[in-house]
Chain A
Amino acid sequence: MELNKETRTRIREAIKRYPIKRSAVLPLLHLVQEDQGYVSDEAIEWIASQLELEPINVYELLTFYPMLRRKPLGKKHVRVCRTLSCALRGAHRTCATLETELDCKEGDVSEDGEFSLEYVECQASCGTGPVVLVDELTYEEVEGEKALRFARSLKDRNLGSDPDFISYEEKVEAGLGEPHEKAPHSAPREKKIILQHADARAYRNDLKTYLAKDGYETLKKAVRRKPEDICAEVEASGVRGRGGAGFPAGMKWKFLDRRSGNPIYLICNADESEPGTFKDRQIIYKDPHQLIEGMMIAAYAIQAKLAFIYIRGEFFEGARILEKAIADAKAQGFVGENVAGSKYSCEIVVHRGAGAYICGEETGLIESLEGKRPYPRIKPPFFPAALGLYQCPTIVNNVETLCNVKHIVDMGGNRYSKLGHAGNTGTRIWCVSGQVKRPGYYEFPNGAVTLGEIIYDVCGGLLPGRTLKAVIPGGSSAKVLRAGERFQGKLKNGTAFDWGIEDVPLDFDGPMAAGSMSGSGGIIVMDDGVDMVEALANVSYFYAHESCGQCTPCREGSLWMKKITTRMTQGGARVDDPDLLLSIANQIEGRTICAFGEACAWPVQSFVSKFREDFDAKTDSSPDGAQLPFTPASEPVIK
């Protein structure tokens, strides 16, 4: 294999970082691809031989992850996010503009080899959609007339010097953060703990800045306490996981099998990929040391031998920021040998994914980290706390959760538990995207605001002339809520409630009481201009694309639902379709290895049953249905 010297060095180092060689498959695939532009057959066999694997083991991964490729791309590779939030803001039009201007078909390389263009799934920048990635840089709000200028600038190689187009990464480096005039951080009643510094002027993501804000002081104190005391603080805080399921983190830690004698691992789940969610990105890019401090405290508390950050592959710069932050923290003794002068030692390894939503599922993530296809594991027996990474006890926590650990230990679990309310402690970062005036991320104590307040007050309401049609409260897998819907019942504490959609309190239990969930905190707002069939077709496309294919119901059902919804948006709706969609979703829900089954079924169940008239309208307009079998003209678009 012809590889440049630096790549070879990095490959050697990458292999050394893992307790088991096979884990280095993804890093090696990334490195070889960076070096050569793609992964050749020769490279597959070379990587296999380096890691003492069979070539099929490498080939299986290469074809699973969309970010890995077997053919070279254009000199500039352009990725357009097509997932719901971006699509609602015109991603399909943006892509069409790019196709014309760059003279390059989506999914193809331009004839001159200058450009390649492809649709990609959620890039975790939903609040600034549509987003377009050019190689490793993320450009935000590339919509409408701006998209045309963007495409021309890109074509003319002027993008780098065009002040209108500064990538997210460049903004982070320059400390520009979110445009301040949008003032998300000055929203009324916001209480910023996790995002306290992230967007503050003059705050940088380097160690010096962090130390100036008393960074790592909590870690220093923590390692002088007993690990079990730290665990007790986290338990007392009542903090619930911020990744989606909302499971109490302290209880998760308690499940650790400490008697096995096997090493304990900590994994930070930074594979942020639930459509509508873009909070972890802000922490990673703008305040990485907060995460590292939180991780080291957590690692110490559970006495982890080694910690990993599994970061989604599209956060190219994010991974570099973390690597640098870890190196800097290590140089100061906050990571690695004798953490903060204690006897405790633990390294952090940054592991990049390669474009697979399923790696956000903790056991899928673990399989991926082990260098296998990320098929979620059956539970029982493979509960990570007992049989996790390398079959050793493992804790997987979300980025935001681990950041919270730092603040919990800093202020004490009991004090933390006073934030928010019982069972819903602490603050939460809500990510608002879709058709509101000021999409963005906002941190509130749990229950401090309602859905109505965040949409109308915090985000400035809907776009001019529009009214609210629907809200997905917790990422695209959460059941949609319909404007005008009423929710009645009793809360866990016995209080009766009778809410309109605007009254749903934003915490863990509120959206749950309304029959949906707060999930990962991704609120997607849709106005009266949205065709709910198109929106569902978009969501179903996502889930069909992301199903790992392991279990039958999800594998076959998700693609089937995509085929039906796509057909419905292209003039081929049949009278049976809405009921068929519901029946398929019901046949998936609760019957798969992981929660992906629910993730793809819930949107279908809720969209079809709550917006039946949109679906019936499609069948009314094509009463005879389509010519069968129906060949879709394209993928589903949101017009």
Chain B
Amino acid sequence: MSEENNTVTINLDGDDVQVTAGANLIEAVAPHGKEIPHYCYHPKLSVVGNCRMCLVEMGMPMKDRATGEPILDENGEVKIGWMPKPVIGCGTNVAPGMHVRTDSELVHDCRNGVMEFLLVNHPLDCPICDQAGECGLQEFALDYGRGYSRFVEEKNVKPKQVELGPRVVLDDERCILCSRCIRFCQEVADDDVLGFVDRGSHSTLTCYPGKSLENNYSLNTVDICPVGALTSKDFRFRMRAWFLKETPTICSESSVGCNATVSSREGVVHRITPRRNDAVNDTWMTDSGRSLYKEIDHKDRIRSFRVGSKEVSVSEALEAATNLLGSSKVALVGSGSCSVEEQFSLKKISDYLDAPTYLAGHFGEEDGLLLSADRTPNLRGALATGLISKYPSDNLKSLGRRLAKGEINTLLCVREDLLDVGLTPTQLKGVRIVYLGTLENQTSRMAKVVLPALTTFERSGSFINLQFRLQKFLQAIPGPAGTLPDVFLLNQLLAELRKEPATPFSMDEIWTEMGKRRGSILKGFTFGEIPLDGVLLDPGKFRAFPYVERKNLHFNLSDFRKGSNTSSQQAT
């Protein structure tokens, strides 16, 4: 469709502007720098129009009913038939010739009125409210507040500090009854446990007694709550929103690759929230994905380089690793949790050593929404970089056989617990292991050399998700003191194996090099050029692989096989 067909012209506060056809007024006027304030409207939920904050004036050119001819005023201009009452921006879709006033006296009066009404029964607890700083009431009270209260009556009393579920706390007095959370539970999470009880101003948000808001998407209700009614137990009272530094990241929980934001302050991550990407995760992510940052300060976190049980320097560790890998029957165990850049470096090591590479799939149940069956973020990357050529199906059984036969006696194992993916202690007896990972596990304890890896929050890189969308994540906080990015360690290792001096490199250089590989689908970008909302790759020969994912919010395997990388699941 050409752009012309996709837009219509409306008159916005006196100026003719082009807006997206079919869009509602809130969405249509936003690109023109006009904000229509709103609370209940959410782009990914049904429209209910209950908050009344988005009232605007709307009119249409008048036409003679009988002839269909435009009616002109005394100046020969088409007369505009203004609606007698203001209309809601969320529920009014643009139409050609529509006239809209978003800045008139009436519109301001409407907003002032709604603002006052929302505040009359709202507690004055901003100083202790977690939403402070990112609260819709605070924000619009600044623009449309009266500055003083005319309300001298007793405020309504409602339940406070209600545990809606294991991760969400509700303050009913703060609730403005916008029903976003209820609609989310019904329309997206398919877990209808929230509702309003009683009526009028006494209406109260509640979870059905005996039930609990405990689905794996419960924290999205906190994200979309425009006020401080729903708060996250994990984040509650931890940090003021305005102190947080926000860094874009990609959730590494599964191959969906939810776009997310890391909020950190002074090297400490405080929360992970979804970042809107309409082709991947809309505005949602799982609760489980948000808790992955706990890996950073996990009690089993590997924070130092080790040879045997001795803490060593980076260079000593790399030297020991080089010695092990350079002298014997070596194999590599890579991971779908490595970034594209790391997988490429591993591939180069594997090529240099002529060592076979193995990779275990981590497969589970998919939830049909944003948790896919492949529980690694970048299995597609392992294929695209050529680290592996086959879709992993049998865990590491074939490696086990070769270990048993003694054909292999040294392993470079990255982000994997070998005993967890099909190998046995017997098979690993006497095998010399170089381990690169974030957490201690059975493999790290057996390893001769241990190299600390960084979490997605501590390094930059890219993943290719189930749609073959290349998405990048950026370092939000520094890793533990003395650690280095995985990709740096792997390149250093390769240089030492080659007995070459290590040369400085950049992510962009890695991408340039990757693009030069024959048949690579990773062409045409440098790292810096990957947009924050990712870019779809042509899967080429990888389209027909036996992927385990079936259907997710924006993925459908059968559509993918037919050539369409993304699909939309219609919310019911």
Q: Which of B150, B200, B211 contacts A549 (CB 8 A)?
A: B200
Question: CB of B49 within 8 A of chain A?
Answer: yes
Question: CB of B237 within 8 A of chain A?
Answer: no
- With A56-B211, A590-B85, A591-B85 already in contact, the answer to whether A567 and B203 are too (CB < 8 A) is no
Q: Are A56 and B208 in contact (CB under 8 A)?
A: yes
Give the distance in Å from the alpha carbon of A552 to the alpha carbon of B140 in the complex: 15
A576: which B residues are within 8 A, CB to CB?
Answer: 150
Q: Which of A559, A590, A593 contacts B49 (CB 8 A)?
A: A593
Give the distance in Å from the alpha carbon of A606 to the alpha carbon of B253 in the complex: 62
Give the distance in Å from the alpha carbon of A12 to the alpha carbon of B206 in the complex: 30
Q: Are A630 and B153 in contact (CB under 8 A)?
A: yes
Q: Which residue of B lies closest to A631 (CB)?
A: B154
Give the distance in Å from the alpha carbon of A56 to the alpha carbon of B191 in the complex: 11
Q: Are B153 and A563 in contact (CB under 8 A)?
A: yes
Q: Which of B47, B48, B52 contacts A553 (CB 8 A)?
A: B52
Residue from A556, A567, A574 whose CB has the most chain B CB atoms within 10 Å: A556
Distance of A90 from chain B, by nearest CB (Å) = 27
- With A56-B207, A556-B121 already in contact, the answer to whether A378 and B48 are too (CB < 8 A) is yes
Question: CB of A569 within 8 A of chain B?
Answer: no
Q: Which of A57, A356, A553, A559 contacts B113 (CB 8 A)?
A: A553
Q: Are A591 and B86 in contact (CB under 8 A)?
A: yes
B55: which A residues are within 8 A, CB to CB?
Answer: 591
Total A-B contacts with CB atoms under 8 angstroms apart: 140
Distance of B206 from chain A, by nearest CB (Å) = 8
Distance of A413 from chain B, by nearest CB (Å) = 23
Question: CB of B194 within 8 A of chain A?
Answer: yes
Q: Are B177 and A587 in contact (CB under 8 A)?
A: no
Contact with B along A526-562 (1 / 0, CB 8 A): 0000000000000000001111111111011111100
Q: Are B117 and A553 in contact (CB under 8 A)?
A: yes
- With A59-B208, A378-B47, A560-B153 already in contact, the answer to whether A549 and B85 are too (CB < 8 A) is no
Contact with A along B280-310 (1 / 0, CB 8 A): 0000000000000000000000000000000
Residue from A555, A563, A593 whose CB has the most chain B CB atoms within 10 Å: A555
Give the distance in Å from the alpha carbon of A55 to the alpha carbon of B50 in the complex: 24
Question: CB of B419 within 8 A of chain A?
Answer: no
B118: which A residues are within 8 A, CB to CB?
Answer: 552, 556
A60: which B residues are within 8 A, CB to CB?
Answer: 195-197
Question: CB of B440 within 8 A of chain A?
Answer: no
Q: Which of A378, A559, A564, A630 contacts B91 (CB 8 A)?
A: A378
Q: Which residue of A lies closest to B186 (CB)?
A: A54
A630: which B residues are within 8 A, CB to CB?
Answer: 152-154
Give the distance in Å from the alpha carbon of A527 to the alpha carbon of B132 in the complex: 53
Distance of B274 from chain A, by nearest CB (Å) = 25
Q: Are A552 and B50 in contact (CB under 8 A)?
A: yes
Distance of A158 from chain B, by nearest CB (Å) = 38
Distance of A405 from chain B, by nearest CB (Å) = 27
Q: Are A552 and B85 in contact (CB under 8 A)?
A: no
Q: Are B50 and A59 in contact (CB under 8 A)?
A: no
Q: Are B116 and A587 in contact (CB under 8 A)?
A: yes
Give the distance in Å from the alpha carbon of A270 to the alpha carbon of B113 in the complex: 34
Distance of B514 from chain A, by nearest CB (Å) = 50
A550: which B residues are within 8 A, CB to CB?
Answer: 48, 50, 177
B211: which A residues are within 8 A, CB to CB?
Answer: 55-56
Give the distance in Å from the alpha carbon of A592 to the alpha carbon of B200 in the complex: 13
Count of chain B residues with a beta carbon within 8 Å of a chain A beta carbon? 50
Give the distance in Å from the alpha carbon of A206 to the alpha carbon of B86 in the complex: 49
A631: which B residues are within 8 A, CB to CB?
Answer: 154
Give the distance in Å from the alpha carbon of A380 to the alpha carbon of B24 in the complex: 12
Q: Are A64 and B199 in contact (CB under 8 A)?
A: yes
Give the distance in Å from the alpha carbon of A567 to the alpha carbon of B152 in the complex: 11
Q: Which of A553, A555, A574 contacts B200 (CB 8 A)?
A: A555
Question: CB of A204 within 8 A of chain B?
Answer: no
B225: which A residues are within 8 A, CB to CB?
Answer: none
Question: CB of B250 within 8 A of chain A?
Answer: no
Interface residues on A, range: 35 or more
Give the distance in Å from the alpha carbon of A59 to the alpha carbon of B176 in the complex: 20
Give the distance in Å from the alpha carbon of A327 to the alpha carbon of B211 in the complex: 42
Question: CB of A63 within 8 A of chain B?
Answer: yes
Question: CB of B202 within 8 A of chain A?
Answer: yes
A20: which B residues are within 8 A, CB to CB?
Answer: none
Distance of A98 from chain B, by nearest CB (Å) = 26
B151: which A residues are within 8 A, CB to CB?
Answer: 560
Question: CB of B470 within 8 A of chain A?
Answer: no
- With A548-B199, A549-B201 already in contact, the answer to whether A556 and B117 are too (CB < 8 A) is yes
B33: which A residues are within 8 A, CB to CB?
Answer: none
Q: Are A564 and B153 in contact (CB under 8 A)?
A: yes
Q: Which of A580, A588, A592 contacts B150 (CB 8 A)?
A: A580
Give the distance in Å from the alpha carbon of A546 to the alpha carbon of B55 in the complex: 24
- With A549-B201, A552-B50, A630-B152 already in contact, the answer to whether A587 and B117 are too (CB < 8 A) is yes
Contact with B along A51-70 (1 / 0, CB 8 A): 00011110110011000000
Q: Are B195 and A56 in contact (CB under 8 A)?
A: yes
Question: CB of B477 within 8 A of chain A?
Answer: no
Contact with A along B370-396 (1 / 0, CB 8 A): 000000000000000000000000000
B152: which A residues are within 8 A, CB to CB?
Answer: 574, 628-630
Contact with A along B155-183 (1 / 0, CB 8 A): 01000000000000000000011000000
Question: CB of A373 within 8 A of chain B?
Answer: yes
Q: Which of B50, B112, B195, B197 contacts A551 (CB 8 A)?
A: B50
- With A553-B113, A580-B150 already in contact, the answer to whether A378 and B49 are too (CB < 8 A) is yes
Give the distance in Å from the alpha carbon of A373 to the alpha carbon of B121 in the complex: 22
Give the distance in Å from the alpha carbon of A56 to the alpha carbon of B52 in the complex: 26
- With A378-B91, A549-B203, A552-B52 already in contact, the answer to whether A64 and B198 are too (CB < 8 A) is yes
Q: Which residue of B lies closest to A598 (CB)?
A: B85
Question: CB of B88 within 8 A of chain A?
Answer: yes
Distance of B25 from chain A, by nearest CB (Å) = 13
Residue from B92, B192, B203, B210 whose CB has the most chain A CB atoms within 10 Å: B203
A55: which B residues are within 8 A, CB to CB?
Answer: 208, 210-211
Q: Which residue of A lies closest to B152 (CB)?
A: A628
**Restricting to A350-376, which residues have a CB under 8 Å from any CB of B?**
356, 373, 375
Question: CB of B507 within 8 A of chain A?
Answer: no
B50: which A residues are within 8 A, CB to CB?
Answer: 375, 550-552, 593
Give the distance in Å from the alpha carbon of A429 to the alpha carbon of B202 in the complex: 36
Give the distance in Å from the alpha carbon of A356 to the alpha carbon of B86 in the complex: 27
B47: which A residues are within 8 A, CB to CB?
Answer: 378
Q: Which residue of B lies closest to A587 (CB)?
A: B113
Give the distance in Å from the alpha carbon of A378 to the alpha carbon of B117 in the complex: 20
Residue from A55, A56, A629 whose CB has the most chain B CB atoms within 10 Å: A56
Q: Which of B86, B88, B201 contacts A555 (CB 8 A)?
A: B201
Q: Are A552 and B51 in contact (CB under 8 A)?
A: yes
Question: CB of A41 within 8 A of chain B?
Answer: yes
Give the distance in Å from the alpha carbon of A461 to the alpha carbon of B490 in the complex: 100
Give the distance in Å from the alpha carbon of A631 to the alpha carbon of B113 in the complex: 25
Q: Are B200 and A545 in contact (CB under 8 A)?
A: yes
A560: which B residues are within 8 A, CB to CB?
Answer: 117, 120, 151, 153
Question: CB of B110 within 8 A of chain A?
Answer: yes
Q: Are A556 and B120 in contact (CB under 8 A)?
A: yes
- With A41-B209, A378-B48 already in contact, the answer to whether A547 and B201 are too (CB < 8 A) is yes
Contact with A along B42-86 (1 / 0, CB 8 A): 000001111111010000000000000000000000000000111
Give the distance in Å from the alpha carbon of A381 to the alpha carbon of B92 in the complex: 9
Give the distance in Å from the alpha carbon of A483 to the alpha carbon of B91 in the complex: 43
Q: Are A567 and B208 in contact (CB under 8 A)?
A: no
Known contacts A378-B91, A544-B200, A563-B153; 10 further A-B pairs (Cβ under 8 A): A56-B208, A64-B198, A373-B199, A375-B50, A378-B47, A381-B91, A550-B50, A567-B153, A586-B113, A629-B153
In the complex, 18 of the A-B residue pairs with CB atoms within 8 angstroms, ordered by the A residue number, are: A55-B211, A57-B195, A59-B195, A59-B208, A378-B48, A545-B200, A549-B198, A550-B177, A552-B114, A558-B201, A587-B112, A587-B117, A590-B84, A591-B85, A591-B114, A593-B50, A629-B154, A631-B154
10 tightest CB-CB pairs across the interface, nearest first? A587-B113, A556-B117, A549-B203, A63-B197, A559-B201, A56-B208, A563-B153, A60-B195, A547-B200, A54-B192
